[in-house]
A and B are shown apart, each in its own frame.
Chain A
Amino acid sequence: MRSEARLGWLLVAPAVGVIALIAIFPLGWTVWESLHMHELRMPWLGKPFVGLDNYAEIAGDPRFWAALGHTAFFTVTSITLELVIGLFLALAMNRVFRGRGFVRAAILVPWAIPTVVAALLWRFMFESEGGIANAVLVDAKILSEPIVWFIETGTAWVPVILADVWKTTPFVALLLLAGLQNIDLSLYEAAAVDGANGWWQLRHITIPLLKPAILVTLIFRTLDGFRVFDLIYVLTGGGPGTSTEPVALYTFNALLQNLRFGYGSALSVVIFAITFGLAMLYVKGLGVRLGGEER
Chain B
Amino acid sequence: MNCDCVNRGPPAAGSVGRCRLPAVTLVVAAALILTACDGRGDAGRQGSVIKFSGSALGAEGTLVARQIDRFNGLHPDIQVELQRTPDDATQRHQLYVQWLNARVGNPDILMLDAIWTPEFAAAGWILPLRPFAPAPADFFRATIEANTWAGELYALPWFADVGLLYRRIDLVPTEPRSLSELATAARGAMARPGGPRYGIVWQGARYEGLITTFIEYLGAFGGRILDENGQVAINRPEAVRAVTFMRDQLYGSRIAPLEVLTWHEEEARFAFQNGNAVFMRNWPYAYEPMSDTAESRVAGKYAVSPMPGAPGGRSTAALGGAQLAINAYSESPRAAYRLIAYLTAPEQMIERAQAVGQYPTRPALYDDPRLAAVRSIPLEQAKRAIENATPRPVTPIYTEMSEILQIELHRALVRQAEPQAALDAAAKRIDALIDRTGMRKLTQGTTR
Within 8 A of A (CB), among B238-297: 257-259, 261-262
Given A129-B259, A291-B1, residue A43 in contact with residue B9 (CB < 8 A): no
Q: Mark A149-172, 1 if CB is under 8 A from B, else 0.
A: 011110000000000000000000
In this complex, what residue of A is CB-closest to B123?
Answer: A43
The SS class assigned to the B binding surface is: helix
Asked whether B122 lies within 8 Å of A16 as measured between CB atoms, the reply is no
Asked whether B414 lies within 8 Å of A151 as measured between CB atoms, the reply is yes
Asked whether B24 lies within 8 Å of A17 as measured between CB atoms, the reply is yes
Least CB distance, A23 to chain B, in whole angstroms: 7
Asked whether A44 lies within 8 Å of B438 as measured between CB atoms, the reply is yes
Within 8 A of B (CB), among A1-18: 6, 9-10, 12-17
In this complex, what residue of B is CB-closest to A13?
Answer: B17
Asked whether B123 lies within 8 Å of A240 as measured between CB atoms, the reply is no
Given A17-B13, A39-B437, A43-B101, residue A239 in contact with residue B258 (CB < 8 A): no
Asked whether A241 lies within 8 Å of B411 as measured between CB atoms, the reply is yes
Asked whether B123 lies within 8 Å of A44 as measured between CB atoms, the reply is yes
Give the tally of cross-chain contacts (CB within 8 A): 116
Q: Is B12 an interface residue (CB 8 A)?
A: yes
Asked whether B259 lies within 8 Å of A13 as measured between CB atoms, the reply is no
In this complex, what residue of B is CB-closest to A63?
Answer: B407
Q: Mark A34-76, 1 if CB is under 8 A from B, else 0.
A: 0000011111110000000000000000000000000000000
Asked whether B16 lies within 8 Å of A13 as measured between CB atoms, the reply is yes
Q: Is A121 an interface residue (CB 8 A)?
A: no
Given A240-B261, A241-B206, residue A13 in contact with residue B13 (CB < 8 A): yes
For A237, list chain B residues within 8 Å (CB): 205-207
Report the bound CA distance from A243 to B414 in whole Å.
11
Q: Is A82 an interface residue (CB 8 A)?
A: no
Of A210-218, A223-231, A251-259, the segment with at least 4 beta carbons within 8 Å of chain B is A251-259
Within 8 A of A (CB), among B118-160: 119, 122-125
Q: Is B10 an interface residue (CB 8 A)?
A: yes
Q: Is B191 an interface residue (CB 8 A)?
A: no
Asked whether A14 lies within 8 Å of B20 as measured between CB atoms, the reply is yes
Asked whether B122 lies within 8 Å of A42 as measured between CB atoms, the reply is yes
In this complex, what residue of B is CB-closest to A150?
Answer: B262
Given A41-B97, A42-B437, A148-B262, residue A241 in contact with residue B407 (CB < 8 A): yes
Asked whether A20 lies within 8 Å of B10 as measured between CB atoms, the reply is yes
For B16, list chain A residues within 8 Å (CB): 6, 9-10, 13
Q: Is B94 an interface residue (CB 8 A)?
A: yes
Q: Is B442 an interface residue (CB 8 A)?
A: yes
Q: Which of B13, B17, B258 contacts A151 (CB 8 A)?
A: B258
Q: Is A290 an interface residue (CB 8 A)?
A: yes
Asked whether A242 lies within 8 Å of B122 as measured between CB atoms, the reply is no
Asked whether B410 lies within 8 Å of A44 as measured between CB atoms, the reply is no
For A39, list chain B residues within 8 Å (CB): 437
Q: Is A24 an interface residue (CB 8 A)?
A: yes
In this complex, what residue of B is CB-closest to A237?
Answer: B206
Report the bound CA distance from A238 to B205 in whole Å.
11
Most A C-beta atoms less than 10 A away, residue of B17, B124, B396: B17
Report the bound CA distance from A43 to B123 in whole Å.
6
Asked whether A16 lies within 8 Å of B9 as measured between CB atoms, the reply is yes
Given A16-B12, A259-B97, residue A148 in contact with residue B258 (CB < 8 A): yes
Q: Mark A116-142, 1 if CB is under 8 A from B, else 0.
A: 000000000001110000000000000
Least CB distance, B152 to chain A, in whole angstroms: 15
Within 8 A of B (CB), among A253-293: 253, 256-259, 290-291
Least CB distance, A49 to chain B, in whole angstroms: 17
For B12, list chain A residues within 8 Å (CB): 9, 12-13, 16
Q: Is A19 an interface residue (CB 8 A)?
A: yes
Least CB distance, B281 to chain A, in whole angstroms: 18
Report the bound CA distance from A44 to B6 in whole Å.
39
For B206, list chain A residues within 8 Å (CB): 237-241
Report the bound CA distance from A16 to B16 in whole Å.
11
For A128, list chain B residues within 8 Å (CB): 259
Q: Which of A148, A240, A258 contacts B399 (CB 8 A)?
A: A258
Q: Which of A13, A20, A41, A153 contacts B20 (CB 8 A)?
A: A13
Size of B's binding interface in residues, CB under 8 A: 45
For A238, list chain B residues within 8 Å (CB): 206
For A259, list chain B residues within 8 Å (CB): 94, 97
Report the bound CA distance from A243 to B261 in whole Å.
14
Q: Mark B1-31, 1 if CB is under 8 A from A, else 0.
A: 1000110011011001101100010000000
Report the bound CA distance from A17 to B16 in whole Å.
12
Report the bound CA distance from A44 to B438 in whole Å.
9
Asked whether B10 lies within 8 Å of A41 as measured between CB atoms, the reply is no
Most B C-beta atoms less than 10 A away, residue of A6, A14, A239, A243: A239
Least CB distance, A189 to chain B, in whole angstroms: 35
Asked whether B1 lies within 8 Å of A17 as measured between CB atoms, the reply is no
Least CB distance, B206 to chain A, in whole angstroms: 5
Report the bound CA distance from A23 to B5 in whole Å.
12
Asked whether A24 lies within 8 Å of B6 as measured between CB atoms, the reply is yes
Asked whether B94 lies within 8 Å of A256 as measured between CB atoms, the reply is yes
For B414, list chain A residues within 8 Å (CB): 151-152, 239-241
Q: Is B77 an interface residue (CB 8 A)?
A: no
In this complex, what residue of B is CB-closest to A123?
Answer: B262
For A240, list chain B residues within 8 Å (CB): 206, 261, 410-411, 414, 416
Most A C-beta atoms less than 10 A away, residue of B90, B125, B437: B437
Least CB distance, A159 to chain B, in whole angstroms: 12
For B124, list chain A residues within 8 Å (CB): 43-44
For A148, list chain B residues within 8 Å (CB): 258-259, 261-262
Least CB distance, B45 to chain A, in whole angstroms: 29
Given A12-B5, A13-B20, A240-B410, residue A44 in contact with residue B262 (CB < 8 A): no
Least CB distance, B171 to chain A, in whole angstroms: 22
For A150, list chain B residues within 8 Å (CB): 261-262
Chosen A-B contacts, 22 in total, with CB atoms closer than 8 Å, are A6-B16, A9-B12, A10-B17, A13-B13, A14-B20, A16-B13, A24-B10, A41-B396, A41-B397, A42-B122, A42-B396, A42-B397, A42-B437, A44-B122, A238-B206, A240-B206, A240-B261, A240-B414, A241-B407, A241-B411, A241-B416, A258-B399
Q: A10-B20, A24-B9 are in contact. List 18 more A-B contacts (CB 8 A).
A: A6-B16, A9-B16, A9-B17, A13-B17, A13-B20, A16-B5, A16-B10, A42-B397, A43-B101, A44-B442, A127-B262, A150-B262, A151-B258, A151-B414, A152-B414, A237-B206, A240-B261, A257-B403
> Which 8 pairs of residues, A with B, have the shortest CB-CB distance?
A13-B17, A241-B411, A16-B9, A240-B414, A9-B16, A148-B258, A239-B206, A151-B414
